[in-house]
Chain A
Amino acid sequence: MALIRQTSPHTLGQNKTSHIMRLVLIALVPALAAQTWFFGWGIIINVIWCSVIALGAEAWILALRKRPLSFYLRDNSALVTAWLLAMALPAAAPWWLSLIGVGFAIIFGKQLYGGMGNNPFNPAMVGYVLLLISFPQEMTSWVAPLGSGISAPGIGDSFSMIFAGSAVDGWTMATPLDILRENKSLTMNELWQNSPQLSGMTGLGWFWTNLAFLAGGLYLLKEKAISWHAPAGMLLALAVLSLLFWNGTGSESHGSPIFHLFSGATMMGAFFIVTDPVSGATSNKGRLLFGLGVGTLTYVIRAWGGYPDGVAFATLLMNMAAPAIDYWTQPRTYGHRKPKRGMAKTK
Chain B
Amino acid sequence: MSSNPSQGIPLRTIHEFPGGVHPGENKEQSTRTPIATPPLPNTFILPLNQHSGAPAELLVKVGDYVLKGQMLARANGFVSSPVHAPTSGTVTSVGMHPVPHWSGLEETCLVLEADGKDQWCELDPVADYKTVEKDELVQCIHDAGIVGLGGAGFPAAVKMSSRKASKIHTLIVNGAECEPYITADDMLMRERADRLLGGIEILQHMLNPQEVLIGIEDNKPEAIEAMRKVCAGKDAIEVVPVPTKYPSGDAQRLIWLLTGKEVPSDARSVDIGMLCYNVGTLVAIYDAITEGKPLISRVTTLTGAALHQPGNVEALIGTPAEHLLEFAGIQDEQFDALVMGGPMMGHTLDTTAVPVIKTSNCFIAASREEFPPPPPEQACIRCGMCADACPLSLLPQQLYWHAKSQNHEQLHHHNLFDCIECGACSYVCPSSIPLVQYFRAGKDEIRFQKAKSEKAERSRQRFEQRQKRLEAVAAEKEARRKANAEKARRAKEAKAAAGQSAGQNSADTSAADAKADMIKAAMERAKAKKATRAAGTDVATASSGKPARPQLSPKQKELKIQLSVVNAQIKKCERAASQAGENSSPEAEKLQADIDKLKQQQTQLKAEFEAASAPTEAPAKPAKAELSADEKKHKIELAMARAAVKKAERAVTTAKESDSDQLQTLQQQLEDKRRELARCEEAV
Q: Which of A4, A71, A340 contacts B415 (CB 8 A)?
A: A340
Query: What is the 8 Å Cβ interface bit string for chain B, positions 332-363, against chain A (1 contact, 0 not)?
Result: 10011111010111111111100000000000
Q: Is the CB of A334 within 8 A of B384?
A: no
A134–B65 Cα distance when bound, in Å, is: 91
- Residues of A near B378 (CB, < 8 A) are 17, 75, 116-117
Q: Which of A330-347 contact B (CB under 8 A)?
A: 330-337, 340, 343-347
A12–B386 Cα distance when bound, in Å, is: 12
Q: Is the CB of A10 within 8 A of B343?
A: yes
- Residues of A near B410 (CB, < 8 A) are 344
A16–B376 Cα distance when bound, in Å, is: 11
A17–B432 Cα distance when bound, in Å, is: 9
Q: Which residue of B lies closest to A330 (CB)?
A: B395
Q: Which of B23, B395, B407 contacts A282 (CB 8 A)?
A: B395
- Residues of A near B393 (CB, < 8 A) are 331-334
Interface size on A, residues (CB 8 A): 47
Residue A133 is within 8 A (CB to CB) of chain B in the complex: no
Q: Is the CB of A345 within 8 A of B409?
A: yes
- Residues of B near A118 (CB, < 8 A) are 379
- Given the known interface contacts A3-B350, A15-B385, A345-B409, the answer about A9 and B343 at a Cβ–Cβ threshold of 8 Å is yes
Q: Which of B332, B383, B391 contacts A20 (CB 8 A)?
A: B383
Q: Is the CB of B387 within 8 A of A283?
A: yes
Q: Is the CB of A344 within 8 A of B384?
A: no
Q: Is the CB of B423 within 8 A of A282?
A: no
A20–B381 Cα distance when bound, in Å, is: 11
Query: What is the 8 Å Cβ interface bit string for chain A, positions 14-51, against chain B (1 contact, 0 not)?
Result: 01110110000000000000000000000000000000
Q: Which of A243-288 contact B (CB under 8 A)?
A: 277-278, 280, 282-284, 287
Q: Is the CB of B379 within 8 A of A115?
A: yes
Q: Which of A11, A115, A346, A347 contacts B343 (CB 8 A)?
A: A11
A337–B341 Cα distance when bound, in Å, is: 33
CB distance from A323 to the nearest CB of B (A): 10
Q: Pick from B152-160, B260-268, B455-463, B670-678 the stretch touching chain A.
A: B260-268
A346–B397 Cα distance when bound, in Å, is: 21
- Residues of B near A343 (CB, < 8 A) are 413
- Given the known interface contacts A116-B379, A277-B384, A335-B264, the answer about A4 and B427 at a Cβ–Cβ threshold of 8 Å is no
Q: Pick from B197-205, B366-374, B495-503 the stretch touching chain A.
A: B366-374
Q: Which of B341, B352, B418 contacts A335 (CB 8 A)?
A: B418
CB distance from A288 to the nearest CB of B (A): 13
Residue B35 is within 8 A (CB to CB) of chain A in the complex: no
Q: Which of A75-105 contact B (CB under 8 A)?
A: 75, 77
Residue B431 is within 8 A (CB to CB) of chain A in the complex: yes
Residue B412 is within 8 A (CB to CB) of chain A in the complex: yes
- Residues of B near A10 (CB, < 8 A) are 337, 339, 343-344, 346, 348, 366, 371
Q: Is the CB of A6 within 8 A of B348?
A: yes
Residue B605 is within 8 A (CB to CB) of chain A in the complex: no
Residue A13 is within 8 A (CB to CB) of chain B in the complex: yes
Q: Is the CB of B265 within 8 A of A116?
A: no
How many residue-residue contacts, CB under 8 A, span A and B?
174
Q: Which residue of B lies closest to A21 (CB)?
A: B381
- Residues of A near B440 (CB, < 8 A) are 7
Q: Which residue of A lies closest to B336 (CB)?
A: A4
- Given the known interface contacts A4-B348, A12-B432, A283-B395, the answer about A277 and B423 at a Cβ–Cβ threshold of 8 Å is no
Q: Which residue of B lies closest to A275 (CB)?
A: B383
Residue B63 is within 8 A (CB to CB) of chain A in the complex: no
- Given the known interface contacts A3-B338, A331-B393, the answer about A11 and B350 at a Cβ–Cβ threshold of 8 Å is no
Residue A58 is within 8 A (CB to CB) of chain B in the complex: no
CB distance from A207 to the nearest CB of B (A): 31
- Given the known interface contacts A9-B427, A117-B381, the answer about A3 and B336 at a Cβ–Cβ threshold of 8 Å is yes
CB distance from B453 to the nearest CB of A (A): 12
- Given the known interface contacts A5-B350, A8-B345, the answer about A227 and B384 at a Cβ–Cβ threshold of 8 Å is yes
- Residues of B near A283 (CB, < 8 A) are 384, 387, 395
Residue A64 is within 8 A (CB to CB) of chain B in the complex: no
- Residues of B near A19 (CB, < 8 A) are 430
CB distance from B259 to the nearest CB of A (A): 14
Q: Which of B439-486 contact A (CB under 8 A)?
A: 440
**Size band of the interface chain B makes with A:** 35 or more
- Residues of B near A284 (CB, < 8 A) are 384
Q: Is the CB of B384 within 8 A of A282?
A: yes
Q: Which residue of B lies closest to A322 (CB)?
A: B382
Q: Is the CB of B347 within 8 A of A11?
A: no
Q: Is the CB of B265 within 8 A of A340?
A: no
A278–B393 Cα distance when bound, in Å, is: 20
A287–B383 Cα distance when bound, in Å, is: 11
A16–B437 Cα distance when bound, in Å, is: 19
- Residues of A near B434 (CB, < 8 A) are 7
Q: Which of A11, A77, A287, A326 contacts B371 (CB 8 A)?
A: A11
Q: Which of B306-346 contact A (CB under 8 A)?
A: 332, 335-339, 341, 343-346
Q: Is the CB of A333 within 8 A of B415?
A: yes
Q: Is the CB of A334 within 8 A of B23?
A: no
Residue B581 is within 8 A (CB to CB) of chain A in the complex: no
Q: Is the CB of A11 within 8 A of B380?
A: no
- Residues of B near A16 (CB, < 8 A) are 430, 432
- Residues of A near B348 (CB, < 8 A) are 3-7, 10
Residue B436 is within 8 A (CB to CB) of chain A in the complex: yes
Q: Is the CB of A9 within 8 A of B338?
A: no
Residue B302 is within 8 A (CB to CB) of chain A in the complex: no
Q: Is the CB of B412 within 8 A of A344?
A: yes
- Residues of B near A336 (CB, < 8 A) are 264-265, 415, 418
- Residues of A near B262 (CB, < 8 A) are 334-335
Residue B38 is within 8 A (CB to CB) of chain A in the complex: no
Residue B14 is within 8 A (CB to CB) of chain A in the complex: no
Q: Is the CB of A331 within 8 A of B337?
A: no
Q: Which residue of B lies closest to A74 (CB)?
A: B378
CB distance from A226 to the nearest CB of B (A): 9
- Residues of B near A337 (CB, < 8 A) are 264
Q: Is the CB of A330 within 8 A of B414?
A: yes
- Residues of B near A280 (CB, < 8 A) are 382
Q: Which residue of B lies closest to A343 (CB)?
A: B413
- Residues of A near B388 (CB, < 8 A) are 227
Q: Is the CB of B180 within 8 A of A11?
A: yes
Q: Is the CB of A117 within 8 A of B382?
A: yes
CB distance from B561 to the nearest CB of A (A): 52
- Residues of A near B256 (CB, < 8 A) are 334
CB distance from A300 to the nearest CB of B (A): 27
Q: Which residue of B lies closest to A226 (CB)?
A: B383
Q: Is the CB of A117 within 8 A of B379?
A: yes
Q: Is the CB of B427 within 8 A of A344?
A: no
- Residues of B near A116 (CB, < 8 A) are 378-379, 381
A48–B394 Cα distance when bound, in Å, is: 41
Q: Which residue of A lies closest to B351 (CB)?
A: A3
- Given the known interface contacts A4-B337, A277-B383, A335-B263, the answer about A15 and B430 at a Cβ–Cβ threshold of 8 Å is yes
Q: Which residue of B lies closest to A71 (CB)?
A: B376
Q: Which residue of A lies closest to B346 (CB)?
A: A8
Residue B428 is within 8 A (CB to CB) of chain A in the complex: yes
Q: Is the CB of A11 within 8 A of B344?
A: yes
A232–B2 Cα distance when bound, in Å, is: 33
Residue B24 is within 8 A (CB to CB) of chain A in the complex: yes
- Residues of B near A334 (CB, < 8 A) are 17, 252, 256, 262, 265, 391-393, 418
Residue B620 is within 8 A (CB to CB) of chain A in the complex: no
Can you pick out 23 interface pairs between chain A and chain B where the beta carbons lie within 8 Å of each other?
A1-B352, A7-B436, A8-B341, A8-B347, A8-B423, A9-B343, A9-B426, A10-B346, A11-B343, A11-B371, A13-B23, A15-B428, A15-B430, A20-B383, A117-B379, A287-B384, A326-B398, A331-B393, A334-B252, A334-B265, A336-B264, A344-B409, A344-B412
Given A117-B379, A336-B418, A345-B409; 4 other pairs, CB 8 A cutoff: A10-B343, A333-B415, A335-B262, A344-B413
Q: Which 3 A-B pairs have the closest CB atoms?
A: A117-B379, A344-B413, A335-B265
Residues of chain B having any CB pair with chain A under 8 Å: 17, 21, 23-24, 104, 180, 252, 256, 262-266, 332, 335-339, 341, 343-352, 366, 368, 371, 373-376, 378-385, 387-388, 391-395, 397-398, 407, 409-410, 412-415, 418, 423, 426-432, 434, 436-437, 440
